[in-house]
Structures are given as structure tokens and as C-alpha cells.
Amino acid sequence: GLSAAWSSNQTLVVTLGSDATVKKGATITLNATAGIKDIGAESAASTASALIDGTFFSKVPNIVSVTAAEDGAEEVGAGAGDTVTIVFDEQTNRPAIAAASIATALVLNEGSWGTEANGLSATWSNSQTLVVTLGSDATVKKGATITLDVSAGIKDIGEESAASTVNAVIDGTFFSQVPSIVSVTAAEGGAIEVGAGAGDTLTIEFDVPTNQPVIAAANIATFLGLNAGSWGTGANGLSAVWSNSQTLVVTLGSDATVKKGATITLDTLAGIKDIGEESAASTVSAVIDGTFFSQVPSIVSVMAAEAGASEAGAGAGDTVTIVFDVPTNQPVIAAGDVATALGLSEGSWGTGLSAAWSDSQTLVVTLGSGATVKKGATITLNASAGIKDIGAESTASTADAVIDGSFGVGAIPAITSVTAAEDGAEEVGAGAGDTVTIAFNVPTNQPAIAAANIATALGLSAGSWGTEANGLSAAWSSNQTLVVTLGSDATVKKGATITLNA
């Protein structure tokens, strides 16, 4: 469409073609071959020069769109090779923008373009499209605002307009993924104690870089929900900080009760999104692994106490208090399970008993009626009781210990009667199978008295009990009655005195 025509003998009009790139300010120089002479054609051909003035029409370029795109290796958020494409509404003058000048020429309200050393560049794909290729260290995000600086020098194609200083918001995507939890690891980070304690940590690892939102101590319980236990409180040292974009470290308070095996569930309010903040907030769950430090509980002491009606020995309402060396998980021990869970070497707990924890280290068994447990008996924990450390990380304790303390001391047993009886073949005087029944005024502990020890244990003022070889024995018929069965060689007589040996 290019043409040239004289509108008068002093005016030449050049009509441009659609592919013209001439600009205001360019210099036109006449070539002698044009043959432009005076009207009489007597002069030499003109070779004059002049600057183009006027205007071809001018407009400051405006941004139509800014589009982020995942163009490098696929990763969440901005990364090496990803692009931001800026499209203008008019053709521009396509000024060169050096990598070192991009941050100044194309100003971001948050994040960065990265650096030339890591791959940053800016090139025009045509007169209306500027493509910024990001560096590997870029942190720019979708939603950030780009503002053109005068120094960029982006004008209309004729360079007649002022330099554009418009701004626009980045759209598109650098690739988005809702963060998922890879692992949750408990660790003993404070003074060593069994279970969670002040300074212990819980490290949450994510599969992709996150936006690292601030999580105040007061919000941890809401943002990082637990299905069991608690984080403790800010007043007692609770905090949460990001060690990097994929790692959140929760430092526990001294009043924390969270345990290994509990489940953490992220709340939408936590706002944990991918690093580009394009994803939805994560609401994933994960189970706590690792350890807060574990130790199988041992028994420190077992103390009997007279706590019911006062009586000699164990009775209803009396207690046995078991103290452990470390805090426990305080499992419920039903009355029907006490005999199995807390095995006795001798005696029984009775019926109508109960077992309750007064604190995490103290289990109190309250005896039922008919209890025969004694001081000196051994208690052995059964694994079925499930008594573990407070973090429930240890194996169940199978410790044992001897009962100390006292169920109440009664009166020293006194003999109320000693009765001889003809119980064997009838003969005059003591003989094989005859018995001597000793009755006491109070229930006794019914100690076993071997035949060989009867003469010493039950001293006679005259005569003898006979010997085991000839049938001598001693047995308790009740806790208040001892029956001595005589041997055939017994010479004990009615009227002799029996003296108990301690």
C-alpha cells in the first residue's frame, strides 16, 4: 500500500504501507536520484534532510493480561523456566530489558523474579508481548501486582507516548498442589522425662513447599487439631515456627499431654497452602510417630493402710497404694479384673473391691469384704493391666513388689481354751490320733507348723507330743483354731501347760 504523490508543486505526500515502521523523529534525506529540482528544473537535484514531525497517533500502552505458566520442570509455585507473559493493548517500542534491570523495570509488590545467575531473562515475542522467564530462586506468586517503571521505557510503537507506568495482577498458574503431610515426628528436646514435656518437639514435614503462615501459640490447638491429648499453652512454652517452607516445628509447653499415635488434623483456618498460595488450605491428617522418650514403669512402693473399720489384718475399705517411678497412662482397671491385673503371691483382694488412680503415678486399691491379702505378699503386674508410661509408648509393666505398711495391728492372740479329745483308737491316756484343740481369742495368721517343729512351737510343761514318724501333725481348722493330732508315742497329759514360742 506504499505510494507517493504531489498534492502541489511544493508538497509531496507519502502514503505508508501496512508494514511501515517509520517513526516520528526519524530523519528523511532526499537522494539525488529522486530528481527533485526547482520548478524550472534548472537546479541540481535536492539532497536536503529534515526530521519527521507531527504524529502518527500516540497512546500509552496498557497491560491487557499478565499470565503465569509452568514452563520448566514441574514444581509447586514459581521455579526455574516458569514464565510470566505480559500482553499490551497496543504495539510497543519493545525496549530491551536486561536481566539485571527486571526487578527495577517490572516492580513486584511481593516476591521476586529471581536473578540472572539463576536463569532470569525478559524477551519480546512480538511488539505486544513481553515474556519474563524466571530464575530458580524466584518467589513471585500468582496474585502479585506488577507495576511498570518509567525506566523500563515501554512506549507505543511510534515512541510518541510517555513511558507506561501501569500495573496489573498476575493471573494464570505456576502449578498448584494442596500440601500433604509426609511425616509427623515426636522428639525429646527438653529435659529428659517420660512422655511429652517442656521443650519437646513435634516436626511436621510437608510434601511440597508451603506459604509458611504464622501460627500463634494461642491458635495451635485450633489450627493443628489433636484427637487425643493437648499441646499445652503458650504461657508454659508452646510455640510453632517454620524451619523452612516444608517443615513446621511445634515446641511443646510443660503442660502438654499429646502422645505418640495421636492424629493431627490441619484446620482450614491454619491457611497452610502451597508456596504460591494458589492451592486450597490443607486439611490433611497424619499420625504422630517418633518418641517423646519411653520407660517401662517400675513400682517404687506398695503400702497397706487401715482405712475402713478398724480390725486386725485386711478388711473392707482398707487400701493398698502402689506408687510408680514414672507417670503412667492410668489405664482403667475394673473390679472384676483386679485379681488378674494385680496378681498376689498369697491371699486375695476380696469382693466388692475397686482400683482407682489418684494421680498418674499412684494406683489405690480399696479392699472388699473377705480380703485375705497380707503385708509381705508380693504383687505382680500382669501385662493385661496395660500399665505403660504416660506417653503409652513403653511395653506394659510386669513389675513386682512386696506389700509394706500395715492393714492394722490387732491384739496379740491369747489362748482361750485347750481341749484334749479321744479321737483315735480308745486307750487310756494320750494315743495315736487323739487331738488337742487350741482355741484363740482373735483371728490369727494361721502359720504352718511342721510336725518336726511342734515340740518347740508349742512347748509342754510335762510329757511330749510324740513324733511325726508316729503320726504327729498340726493343722488350722479355722483362723482361730489349731488342732494337734498326736503320735502313737505321745505322753502329754491333761493338766500340762502349753506355752507358745514366738
CA atoms within 13 A on the CB side of 301: 7
Using only C-alpha atoms, the chain has a radius of gyration, in whole angstroms, of 50
φ/ψ of 328, rounded to 5, equals: -110, 175
- Per DSSP, what are the bridge partners of residue 8? 11
Sequence-separated (6 or more) residues with CB below 8 Å from residue 106: 86, 97, 113, 122, 132, 146, 147, 148, 149, 152
φ/ψ of 264, rounded to 5, equals: -100, 135
Measured CA distances, 399 to 68, 246, 347 (Å): 65, 44, 19
Give the pTM: 0.65
3-class DSSP state for residue 376? coil
3-class DSSP state for residue 107? strand
The amino acid present at 93, given as its one-letter code, is N
Angstrom distance (rounded) from CA 283 to CA 391: 26
Angstrom distance (rounded) from CA 384 to CA 397: 9
pLDDT for residue 429: 82
pLDDT for residue 57: 78
- φ/ψ bin of 102: left (φ > 0), alpha (ψ from -120 to 50), beta (otherwise): alpha
The amino acid present at 90, given as its one-letter code, is E
Measured CA distances, 502 to 324, 377, 466 (Å): 36, 21, 21
* Residue keyed to cell 524550472: 40
CA atoms within 13 A on the CB side of 432: 8
Question: Please, are residues 122 and 60 in contact by the beta-carbon 8 Å criterion?
Answer: no
Q: Which candidate, 494, 492, 497, places its Cα nearest to that of 467?
A: 492
pLDDT for residue 162: 94
pLDDT for residue 56: 80
Convert the pLDDT of each residue in 122-178 to its tens digit.
999 999 999 999 999 999 999 999 999 999 999 999 888 999 999 999 999 988 899
pLDDT for residue 487: 87
Q: Within 10 Å of residue 124's Cβ, how many Cβ atoms?
A: 17
Residue ranges in the chain whose pLDDT is less than 70: 308-309, 311-312, 409-410, 424
Grid cell, residue 422, equals 479321744
pLDDT for residue 410: 66
pLDDT for residue 332: 97
Angstrom distance (rounded) from CA 447 to CA 449: 6
Question: Please, are residues 128 and 90 in contact by the beta-carbon 8 Å criterion?
Answer: yes
Question: Please, are residues 467 and 487 in contact by the beta-carbon 8 Å criterion?
Answer: yes
φ/ψ of 357, rounded to 5, equals: -90, 125
Angstrom distance (rounded) from CA 170 to CA 109: 11
Residue 384: DSSP 8-state: G
Burial string for 357-393 (b: 16+ CB within 10 Å, else e) reads: beebbbbbbbbbeebbbbbebebebbeebbbbbbbbb
Q: Within 10 Å of residue 290's Cβ, how many Cβ atoms?
A: 16
Largest CA distance in the chain: 187
| CA triple 247-251-257, angle to 5 deg | 120
Grid cell, residue 219, equals 491458635
Angstrom distance (rounded) from CA 337 to CA 32: 120
Angstrom distance (rounded) from CA 442 to CA 408: 14
Q: Which candidate, 469, 474, 473, 467, places its Cα nearest to that of 490?
A: 467
Q: Within 10 Å of residue 347's Cβ, how many Cβ atoms?
A: 16
3-class DSSP state for residue 237? coil
Q: Within 10 Å of residue 225's Cβ, how many Cβ atoms?
A: 15
φ/ψ of 344, rounded to 5, equals: -110, 140
pLDDT for residue 95: 98
CA atoms within 13 A on the CB side of 260: 20
